[in-house]
Amino acid sequence: MNIRRYAAAFLALAVSIAGCAPAESPPAPDWGPELAKRVVIDNVYGHLVTLQEIADAHDGNRADGSPGYQASVDYVAQALRDKGFDVQTPEFERLSGSRGGAPALTVAGRGFRVEQASLKITTPPGGLRAITLRPRRPAGCTAADYREVSVDKAIAVVDDSGCSVVQKQRVAVGEGAVGVLVVSAATPSRPVGAPPTLFTPGYYNDLTVPVGVIDPTADAPLRRTESPVTLVLDNKPVMTTSRNVIAQTRTGDPGNIVMVGAHLDSAASGPGINDNGSGVAAVLETALQLGAQPQTANAVRFAFWGAEEISLDGSKAYLRSLERDQLNDIALYLNFDMLGSINAGYFTDDGDQSTQMEPDFVVAPEGSAGIERTLAGSLLLAGVRPADIPLTRTTDYAPFLAAGIPVGGLTTGSSQRKTEVQARLWGGEAGVPFDPNYHTRRDDVDNVDRTALGRMASSAAFAVGTYADALDGVNGVPERDRRDRRTP
């Protein structure tokens, strides 16, 4: 073949092959601003309309254990499946009541009222008979409180100060006690006036021996006797089966999971559209806009929790179902609760703990401060100046805190009253709750601030996308080999 003709033919073939070669994949989006742009208020509000319709069709609420909650689970799960997610709806059991029994404390032949702290823990048939002893320091929160007092095979009697009933029982059992009596004017069923740390959410799941709560009337005869007493705690639990909804992207590093959650149940008193349909709508729309197979460095797991309004059993049960390595795979947790309050504030959860005060100080794991800065920055980009709100033990990030996982989140406020300063900062009415309809039948789709919801949903999406792209940097969280999670 003529050399020139061969060269020309080779060149033509090369051009032809190049023209048929697949084009390079487009670059991955910068997911923080991209998701913030995609999550628009009309779509978010559309989810609220559907949740309202579900409540209207089911006695006006979507409470855990009700047909309205089940319909909410079905709606969220189907929307995620339609977008290509593999969706799980793991079941868990929660305490929903009691049956039978006649709890009592008998001292020197006289009966006294006692409230059973955990329906899951009962006394033997005929009751628990033992002497009662007290620590040197009445709180009984540490072994040092007992000092030289031995409560081996005795019922420890402590007051209601200083720590949770779980901690009091844990220490007493460590000292050999076979039961515990807590002296308090408040009880688990009437906790008004109790120290805020006494009956923590889901506390009854962590008790291992019979624990009763007595008032000072019963305490007085206990102090006058050295004889054994009889403690009967014989109420039996009634359990309800519920479900969470869990979906995770198929792409991204499964050893570095960005977990995002909102509670799906309403209070029994209303449809729960701001509390917490608004958080559900923002998280669901973020998942739908991100998609099941995004080009992200890290996996994103979306969770919709049951039983938050009751005792955080949904999120707690889920974390307890994970092995330690699976807990370590969770890089951080973002929680979104009440994003459309009608008298809205713009709050980030206090990851840097600048607002935390005793006695309710909640330790935030390393990385939480950076999450707060990311969320605050996203709100500033949305055009509002944020403030931070103290961490609590009464919402679904609490079990994540207990597990040592960095947390963060957004809220527009609930029953707290807006101050004059906050009204000047954000508008609205001072002296009025951020959500006057909190836990009422008026928590409906007509009582949601669309502007606030749009800003908060977009800011939530920004944070999800930012951490889906990268976990390092000044606002990052500990790397995988530096995590040491524990079961909450």
How far apart, in Å, do the first and last CA atoms of the chain sit? 79
Do 229 and 155 form a contact (C-beta atoms < 8 A)?
yes
Between CA 118 and CA 101 the distance in angstroms is 13
Active site residues: 308
Minimal CA–CA distance to 313: which of 198, 199, 202?
202
Q: Where are the alpha helices (DSSP H) in 175-312?
A: 216-223, 278-290
Between CA 331 and CA 310 the distance in angstroms is 27
Instruction: Enter the tokens of residue 270.
Output: 């209303």
Do 198 and 221 form a contact (C-beta atoms < 8 A)?
no
Burial 58-74 (b: 16+ CB within 10 A, else e): bebbbbbbbebbbbbbe
E strand or H helix at 408: strand 407-411
Minimal CA–CA distance to 460: which of 29, 32, 30?
32
Residue 315 identity (one-letter amino acid): S
Q: How many CA atoms lie within 13 A of 247 on its CB side?
A: 25
Strand partners, 179: 155
Cα→Cα distances 147→134, 141, 142, 150, 168, Å: 11, 12, 9, 8, 15
Give the total residue count for the chain. Answer: 488
| Cis ω before 254 (30° cut-off from 0) | no
Longest dimension (CA), the chain: 120
Between CA 378 and CA 385 the distance in angstroms is 10
Instruction: Enter the tokens of residue 177.
Output: 């006690």
